[in-house]
Amino acid sequence: MRELFNLRVLLGALAIGLILTCITLLYIVTARPALPDPAAGVRALTRIPAPTSTAYVFTATAELVEWTPTPQPSATPAAGQIGVGGYVQISGTGGDGLRLRAHPGLDAPLLFLGYDTEIFQVTDGPVERDGRIWWALVSPYDPTRAGWAVQDYLTPFEAP
């Protein structure tokens, strides 16, 4: 009976392995994507400035409720008091959140919930309706988060 692992079998297996290794390396080298040329083009970095606090004045009609940005005087309220141009922090809701509405009053449509520790800028008020005092608020970081809130859950806050 012939020997299973003789010199011819071992040399043949070694040759086939060497050929497959060369083919694989050739494929890796030729199929690799080309690296971008750093001198070909420099990408410009566009710097987008942070949003500024723009005062919003509430305009209400029977059919349409909209917010219109209007420059307001920059007078800030006295320390510890809520006033137009100042900042407030929502507090005391027990985790339920404060309902911000389209206009002052309990019958006004709910726009969104403001959560405890969230900061807003006061843009209008005070307005007394339904036995409560209401203030128009806008988020200094997201002008789409704007509405009227009850004073009971607002605490004056130093400007950020």
The ranges of the chain with pLDDT < 70 are 1-2, 34-46, 50-79, 160
pTM over 0.75: no
Helix, strand or coil for residue 155?
strand
Query: Encoding tokens for residue 109?
Result: 């449509």
Residue 107 CB coordination number (10 Å)? 9
- pLDDT at position 71 is 47
DSSP reduced 3-state for 157: strand
pLDDT on residue 157 = 87
What pLDDT is recorded for position 137? Answer: 95
Check residue 133 and give its pLDDT.
93
Every domain of the chain and the residues it spans: 1-31, 56-157
CATH 2.40.50.140 fits 56-157, yes or no: no
Angle ∠(68,140,90) on CA atoms, nearest 5? 110
Whole-number pLDDT of residue 88: 93
